[in-house]
Structure 1
Amino acid sequence: MTAIDLNADLGEGFGRWRLTDDEQLLTVVTSANVACGFHAGDAVTMRRVCELAVARGVTIGAQVSYRDLAGFGRRAMDVPPAELAAEVAYQIGALEVFARAAGSRVAYVKPHGALYNRVVRDERQAAAVVEGVLLAGASLPVLGLPGSRLLELAGKAGLPAVPEAFADRAYTEEGTLVPRGQDGAVVTDPQAVEERSVGIARSGTVPSLAGTPVGVRARSLCLHGDTPGAVELARRVRRRLEAAGVRVEAFA
């Protein structure tokens, strides 16, 4: 039976402000990418999400980002590699405290937003992320886009490289994500998201924005938690995957 992980970005709040419905999404997903305070999240939020994840048997991952609270980590930034490596390690370490206190651990690392897209092609920034993971002191799996420099360098460093796909994001014909500022970058039709999810899990393909099939063989499937109707969409996707004979389980 084909197996795939369902992950979502969680803990994307700050203080009294909350963006994601963490409680409900944690009843659907198998892995939680927890914001570590640089693009969203704070100590109280990280602790709460880790406790909820452990209670629901969901794997905890560190979602690391450029230091950009005002821009939600989605603005292009030029951070010196040594600084970026230290900041990645810092974020992983912060989340590890709360994961362990809840009775679990940080099981993987995933970059967020602008950093995620940057390390697809930028070797120096990708190497800095890998260095940060190693600096944090564990051989953690790294989640990223198939064919990215990040996954290539993670594998060379002895870290498990886990390819990821997006059911609700449009792809270019080259297999990269369409920039969010471009029309059609986010797929909003629930039925289309369901069909794309099954296609990714069963055949490793997804239609590009131009309509041509793109190879995206992935072990994990991301559903964004900050889109309207995210919880119901996640439920629909999981039901559709299981109905198609796909086993939904965490990769780590």
Structure 2
Amino acid sequence: MRRLALVLALLALSAAQRSCGPEGLQKFYAKIREFAESDDNPFKDEVDEQDQAISRLESRIGIIFAEADKAVNQAEKYAQVLDNLEAQVEGIEGTGCEVGEFNCGDGFTCIDKVLVCDKHNDCKDGYDESEGVCFNPFETDSVWIGTFITDSCTTRQPQNMKLTITDAHPQDYLHSDVSVTAAIYLEASNFGEHVEANFRLHGDYYFGTRQMVFQPPEDDRLGIIIQYDGHHSRDATGWVVRESSLEKCAEIIFHRQ
């Protein structure tokens, strides 16, 4: 009986489309909606039950997505904690390789830093050419704010510095490092005197050591080395170093804006 009613409704709809025209068809649709919502509709109870079932299903799906979002956020937090721990361990124990060498990620294979990101796989699994390794955090137009932690060598004794990367491009002849140009702004207030200074820096970012090395911009021959740990793309530790001995005489914590 219900199937017959449905067939008759479909036939009526087809006839209305052929003969009623736009205005008549709108009136016909209005009648159908009125009938569907009335108590005379034999399917009304089933439709109401289906609407309730759909509402319950939507509610359950919403709960599932909310739980999934929580799980993803927790996983990201755990991943960040693990990255922090790994970075701290590497900072304490080192990479297990000599100065100027790169660890292939297996704990014992070391290659020269100039072989890293040179478009040839030198580690067995190609780790030295992977996307995570061949990533330059000091890209063009990036801005880094540095806070001085210690300083036993600069004459201005600044509290903060602003480092703006104005250009970063691969070397034409050596793919293992990136040529970087930057502008640095220093600000210091000591003994009631406010000092500001601007410099232009030139240097290189080395994929194999994850170090940004800036040449000394002044006659005091103090350069800047910034160490990226490979885990925190927006944070790095830097030092002011004496060119002659590479002695670290000031420490700076950098954060990317």
Do the structures match in fold with TM over 0.5?
Answer: no
Q: Which has a greater percent of strand? A: 2
> What TM-score bracket applies, with the shorter chain setting the length?
under 0.3
Computing the radius of gyration over CA atoms, which structure comes out larger, 1 or 2? Answer: 2
For normalisation by structure 2, the TM-score amounts to 0.21
Query: Normalising to structure 1: TM-score of the pair?
Result: 0.22
